Chains A and B, each alone.
Chain A
Amino acid sequence: MESPSLSSIQAQLQACHSKEDTFRTLVTLSKTLPRLSNDEKADEHKIKGCESAVWLIIEHNHTDFPQFKADSDAKLMRGVLAAILSLVNGKSTTEIQAMDLSSLMSSLNLGSYLTSSRTNGVLAILDKISCR
């Protein structure tokens, strides 16, 4: 499945009016995130502080446009990752560094999916994708 655009993800999530709607949307989004290979799921790519296992890889490939890849063993988290990566996919390092990721995150309307015990892991993910 092709990765949906940021605006489409924002629209889908903002149309959710209940925790249950958001859950179903995240499960649908999880299917758009390409899976990592077992080799890519190495400990060095693992994010600490998540309730589920999360791997995040940033490939620079000698260009100014880093490529982000992520995976999790939980679907809900894969949905969250698909949403987060849509913020930075296709952007240049300079553009990403100028972004206010935390306010962009609030535009995703993920609400309590970020405020609970997932917070630490998500903060670590944001920190890593901020390219600073």
Chain B
Amino acid sequence: MFDPYSIRQEFPILQQPAYEHELTYLDNAATTQKPSRVLERILGYYQTANANVHRGAHFLSDRATSQFEQARQTVERFIHAPENGQVIWTKGTTEAINTVAYGIEHLIDPDDEILISSLEHHANLVPWQQLSFRTGARLRIIPFTSDGKWQAEYANYFSDRTKIVACTQVSNAIGVQLPIKEVIQHAKNVGAMTLIDGAQAIAHYPVSVSELDCDFYVFSGHKMYGPTGIGVLYGKTDALESLLPCQTGGEMVLHVTYQATEFNILPYRLEAGTPNIEGALGLAAACDFLQQHDQEAVLKWEQSLAEKAYSILENTTDIEIFSPKKHSTLISLSVKNTHIMDLNGYLDSKGIAVRGGSHCAHPLMAQLGVSGTLRASFACYNTMEEAEHFANTLLEAIELLQED
């Protein structure tokens, strides 16, 4: 049986109070907390193995390089990458998407089309918009309803002009899952490349890039119990080969003269400069952490927390909930005539951390007709008491803020 109370013991940060209350951390879609083993891995690296990787033949350098490359393999196994060397380290999801958006620029013609969904985070929107500005290609938005369903005539968006389709697996703002398998299939039917933004999925859903068969899959370490400043660009080998490096310098070269540079092989070709070694090791430790628990049981638990909050709040006049009742690990809502930041402020004063705002998704907020939402997002260490405490405190806040 899955036990959030024992998992919680692995997270030292959750043992402290917030103001004079117990800390209730429900901003996990922004970033998760880190278990002791991730923190120990990072500290241990600096205490026993710190050296630059892939250069210098000495004791520590060999140790650091071997741990760094093992970390890559751990992540490759975690997402079921078919081959070694298909995981490129990045700063996070945003850098991974930019690496692709700049890397394929040389393949884009002015009459090409780039497709994204209408539920994207700015990170999976602005890089494609800017690519369309640079190349003259047309950016097209596939309309999805806020419950993640295709809208009519979606198939018309896919054509032989479609060069790449970039789509999120789970909406960060409203928690809904998109039908990425169908999106990938439609893209393949017209010979377009695919990029799946897994930032919000990777901590909750088992991911197999082999099964998905997408060209690129990207995510951040810090949203899956790993450190900040490290993320992953997975790519099929030929897809990665097609990218021109958008950063050049050390590490990514084989031979340099003043006249020319011969680039290194993958994955190093796309990793200019000294990498975030501690981050890679910490991320691998986070993969181990996730795999040591029954991921399906954890997911069911997280969904039951969101559903509990939903059921407490759903019948309240003035509350509009945008996230799905079932199969979501977060709840996202707005309250009529009450400012999100006021609700956020009251919850904070009670030690409850949630996120209020537009969630880096302005076009989606416009589609929903709100300026922002209040989002409580759950992780493996959250308890049923916390879900109830959030919902009941929100009701208190509404009562306090609506009295005149």
Q: In the complex, what's the smallest C-beta–C-beta distance from A36 to chain B, in angstroms?
A: 16
Against A, the Cβ 8 Å flags (1 = close, 0 = not) of B367-404 are 00000000000000000000000000000000011001
Against B, the Cβ 8 Å flags (1 = close, 0 = not) of A9-52 are 00000000011101110010001000000000000000000011
Q: In the complex, what's the smallest C-beta–C-beta distance from B337 to chain A, in angstroms?
A: 10
Cβ contact within 8 Å between B341 and A20: no
Q: In the complex, what's the smallest C-beta–C-beta distance from B369 to chain A, in angstroms?
A: 16
Cβ contact within 8 Å between B400 and A76: no
Q: Does A131 contact B (CB under 8 A)?
A: no
Of B58-66, B248-256, B342-350, which binds chain A?
B342-350
Q: Does B19 contact A (CB under 8 A)?
A: yes
Interface size band for A: 10 to 19
Our pick among A19, A27, A113 for the contact of B19 (Cβ within 8 Å) is A19
Contacts of A113 in B (CB 8 A): 345
Contacts of A27 in B (CB 8 A): 342, 400-401
Q: Does A73 contact B (CB under 8 A)?
A: yes
Cβ contact within 8 Å between B345 and A76: yes
Cβ contact within 8 Å between A18 and B341: no
Our pick among B339, B350, B357, B404 for the contact of A20 (Cβ within 8 Å) is B350
Cβ contact within 8 Å between A73 and B339: yes
Q: Does A104 contact B (CB under 8 A)?
A: no
Query: Total A-B residue pairs with C-beta atoms closer than 8 Å?
Result: 36
Cβ contact within 8 Å between B342 and A18: no
Contacts of A77 in B (CB 8 A): 341
Interface size band for B: 10 to 19
Q: In the complex, what's the smallest C-beta–C-beta distance from B339 to chain A, in angstroms?
A: 4
Cβ contact within 8 Å between B339 and A19: no
Our pick among A22, A31, A75 for the contact of B339 (Cβ within 8 Å) is A75
Ordered by A's residue number, 26 sampled pairs between the chains whose C-beta atoms are within 8 Å are A18-B19, A18-B20, A18-B349, A19-B19, A19-B348, A19-B349, A20-B349, A20-B350, A22-B349, A23-B345, A23-B346, A24-B400, A27-B342, A27-B401, A31-B404, A51-B341, A52-B339, A52-B341, A73-B339, A74-B339, A74-B341, A74-B342, A76-B339, A76-B341, A76-B342, A77-B341
List chain A positions with a Cβ less than 8 A from chain B. Answer: 18-20, 22-24, 27, 31, 51-52, 73-77, 113
